[in-house]
Amino acid sequence: MKITNIETFIVDAGWRPWGFVKVETDEGITGWGECSDGRSPRGVQGTIEDLKPLLIGTDPREFENRFWDMYRGTRQSPGGIAAKALAGLDCAFIDIKAKSLGISVPELFGGPTRDRVRVYWSHCGTSRTRNHELIGVPPLKTWDDITTLGKEVVDRGFTALKTNIIGPGDPAQHFGGGFGGGRGSTDQVVTKGVLRHIEKLIGTFRDAVGPDVDINLDLNFHFKTEACLRIAQVLEQFDMLWLEIDMYQPESIRQIKDSTTTRICTGENLFYMRDYLPYFQQHAADMFMIDVPWNGFSQSKKVGDLAEVFQHNVAPHNYYSHLSTFVSASLCASLANIRIMEIDIDDVPWKDDLVTNKPEIIDGYMTIPSGPGWGTDINEEVARAHPWEGHRGSYGSDAASPSEWTFGLPSF
């Protein structure tokens, strides 16, 4: 079997793009991978184009060899955009290998280890702060709307949710800064007003969902160690599943972890075992996220196995399309040390139409795909009907900076 063509798609996902790669073969088997990057989608697409001469004419079923061919071809650009390009291709190659054998990817990797995986409703409220009209849901104008959303999570069978620092209003707002913004909007100190707001936000969700539904709060890159430490201590009263922190410094994450009873999760921006190893060695967090569309399936499996050596549980970072959800669920079925899996519920109306099979979620658990391959493919007609044409607005890059935070909170 030989690769005959590689094609990329950047699809409009409303407030961010989804990136896909399609690999065709001379035996008529097509593989799909996802490599979504919300800020540099064309960079990932361009890297895939640069890799095509290395790959056309080779056997995609030898996905380990293909990974190292690509790795050597991008050795001077480790991680980041290059790794995401490799990830999409790696996933497509593995899809082809499993399809050629008539089996699912979990079967290819020795599983399945489970028949279903628990999922949490991610960006709960965050997606609605600025995109409720596109999603087709009510806006979050009052604290009662936050309560109603929490009750909706329970009514729809979910047993866990994740939110960001959001607040009701007209329009609702999302506290940002760590991904860029106006003057003085990166790596913020936390004010007493923001601490009180976080306490009210999580308290409102806790009252709405009850004591048994797990809650996660994602801080992204918005704060430094001291601020994260103070937020973690405020959250101790709510028995969080985790506080999620992005920080390229394992010692700092460990400092936060040691200062609080709130459980800490990190890792969504790390690549390959070499990035994760110092975090694992220091037991820097309680749980670790793995982003499969950024690491590729073969390398994500290795990271998950390495986490097992250090007695850590892992959770796929998955806020992308349904293809990523099938890929991430396949990872969950290939590892024993899975804690829970992320999934976005609020999304663009064409999300279900973009795939040939959509996830089956029953009582807060997703059924593990049974194949062949990932168990779903991209519907090319839908993908081509929704091309990404540029920035539309998001809950990341254009979230409110501290100077725009208008909840009437003191700035001290």
Per-residue pLDDT tens listing for the chain (412 residues): 999 999 999 999 999 999 999 999 999 999 999 999 999 999 999 999 999 999 999 999 999 999 999 999 999 999 999 999 999 999 999 999 999 999 999 999 999 999 999 999 999 999 999 999 999 999 999 999 999 999 999 999 999 999 999 999 999 999 877 776 666 655 567 899 999 999 999 999 999 999 999 999 999 999 999 999 999 999 999 999 999 999 999 999 999 999 999 999 999 999 999 999 999 999 999 999 999 999 999 999 999 999 999 999 999 999 999 999 999 999 999 999 999 999 999 999 999 999 999 999 999 999 999 989 999 999 999 999 999 998 655 444 445 554 455 554 444 3
Q: What topology is assigned to 108-404 in CATH?
A: TIM Barrel (3.20.20)
CATH number of 3-103: 3.30.390.10
Residue 288: its pLDDT value, please? 98
What is the residue extent of each domain of the chain?
3-103, 108-404
Q: Cα–Cα distance between 166 and 171 in angstroms, integer?
A: 11
Residue 405: its pLDDT value, please? 54
Same fold, 3-103 and 108-404: no
Q: Which residues contact 323 (CB under 8 A, 6 or more apart)?
A: 20, 32, 33, 34, 354, 355, 374, 376, 378
**Quick one: 43 exposed, middle or buried, by C-beta within 10 A (0-12, 13-18, 19+)?**
middle
Predicted structure pTM score = 0.95
Residue 397: its pLDDT value, please? 45
Q: Which residues contact 168 (CB under 8 A, 6 or more apart)?
A: 140, 141, 142, 143, 145, 146
Residue 411: its pLDDT value, please? 40
List, as one string, the DSSP characters of 322-355.
HHHHHHHHHHHTT-S-B--EEEE-S--TTTGGGB
List, as one string, the DSSP characters of 212-247.
TSEEEEE-TTSB-HHHHHHHHHHHGGG--SEEE---
Tell me the two tokens of residue 28: 């008529």
